[in-house]
């Protein structure tokens, strides 16, 4: 059964189509674009030699065949690792029969470390508008370098200074208010998203840090405190919810009128929305 919302909800592929393919790989992002996702979400971290790469965890241990912190490794070290086979092992876990390999990437280039630059190229070549929601991970450790490198890279793609936030295909997200502040100070028209995993006094009042127009609460917050979505909307903010994978949570987001659903299953969510 599909539920067509009265307003349009953006469907954002969280780390790519990360249920079907290994997160943060070209394979996952290509699949998300194929599935029709409106936008792609990625986490960015800085390598020891100053490259922005799309990796969620501080260390590469979970999602690659290597070990160590991203910040201690150079891009060439990361490029030698396989960021795909962990997903294959995960798919096998607890199964007697071979899992469905339909989306198993064959080309090693599809599961090597993904730089933000390569992801920006993919989006530029998509042949349709695909937005990018970039999350700065633990930016405080680098005292502004993550944001500085990020804005330099966006500038190269002509994406750092949109005429208005509404027309920007890129937005910057963070749990760190300081990181969002740095971005706003250097690129005032670039939209920013304040991510939230706890109900703070600020959130209870529907307030966001100065200049931030988009709230990013977790689905757990939205399930437990749906009134907060109403409050944020009344205050004129957009609401982008993560990570929404279950059909009943999609339906809840539709009922509450959220603006974006961030999901590991963009194809299934689009189907649920009747698109
Ligand atoms: O899209 C926001 C969401 O990705 C934040 O949590 O841990 O998946 O980066 P995490
Ligand atoms: Ca993220």
Q: Is 242 in the pocket of ligand 1 (CB under 6 A)?
A: yes
Residue 54: the pLDDT is 98
Q: How many CB atoms lie within 10 A of CB 255?
A: 12
- pLDDT beneath 50, residues of the chain: 1-2
- The preferred substitution site among 11, 13, 14 for testing ligand 1, maximizing ligand atoms within 8 Å of CB, is 14
Residue 163: the pLDDT is 96
Round to whole Å and give the CA distance between 250 and 115: 30
Residue 6: the pLDDT is 56
Residue 273: the pLDDT is 97
Catalytic position from the list 14, 24, 51, 237: 14
Q: Is 41 in the pocket of ligand 1 (CB under 6 A)?
A: yes
155-171 burial code (b ≥16 CB/10 A, e <16): eebebbebeebeebebb
Residue 4: the pLDDT is 58
Catalytic position from the list 24, 51, 56, 237: 56
Q: Is 195 in the pocket of ligand 1 (CB under 6 A)?
A: yes
Read off the pTM.
0.94
Residue 107: the pLDDT is 73
pLDDT digits (tens, 9 = 90+) for 214-223: 999 999 999 9
CATH of domain 10-57+114-272: 3.20.20.190
Residue 85: the pLDDT is 82
Element containing residue 79 per DSSP (H, E)? helix 75-79
Distance 242 CA to ligand 1 centre (A): 7
Residue 191: the pLDDT is 98
């Amino acid at each position: 059964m599909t539920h067509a919302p009265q307003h349009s909800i953006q469907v954002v592929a969280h780390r790519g189509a990360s249920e079907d393919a290994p997160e943060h790989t070209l394979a996952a992002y290509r699949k998300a674009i194929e599935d029709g996702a409106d936008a792609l979400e990625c986490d960015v971290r800085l390598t020891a030699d100053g490259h922005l790469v799309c990796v969620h965890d501080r260390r590469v241990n979970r999602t690659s065949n290597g070990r160590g912190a991203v910040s201690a490794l150079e891009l060439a070290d990361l490029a030698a690792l396989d960021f795909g086979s962990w997903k294959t092992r995960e798919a096998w876990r607890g199964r007697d029969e071979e899992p469905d390999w339909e989306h198993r990437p064959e080309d090693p280039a599809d599961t090597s470390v993904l730089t933000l630059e390569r992801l920006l190229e993919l989006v530029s070549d998509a042949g349709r508008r695909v937005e990018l929601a970039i999350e700065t991970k633990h930016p405080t450790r680098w005292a502004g370098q993550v944001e500085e490198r990020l804005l330099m890279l966006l500038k190269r793609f002509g994406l750092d200074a949109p005429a208005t936030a509404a027309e920007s295909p890129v937005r910057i997200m963070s749990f760190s208010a300081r990181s969002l502040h740095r971005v706003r100070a250097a690129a005032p028209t670039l939209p920013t998203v304040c991510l939230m995993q706890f109900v703070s006094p600020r959130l209870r009042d529907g307030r966001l840090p100065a200049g931030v127009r988009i709230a990013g609460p977790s689905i757990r917050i939205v399930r437990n405190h749906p009134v907060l979505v109403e409050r944020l909307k009344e205050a004129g903010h957009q609401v982008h919810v993560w990570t929404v994978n279950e059909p009943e949570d999609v339906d809840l987001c539709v009922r509450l009128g959220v603006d974006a659903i961030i999901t590991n299953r963009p194809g299934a969510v689009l189907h649920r929305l009747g698109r």
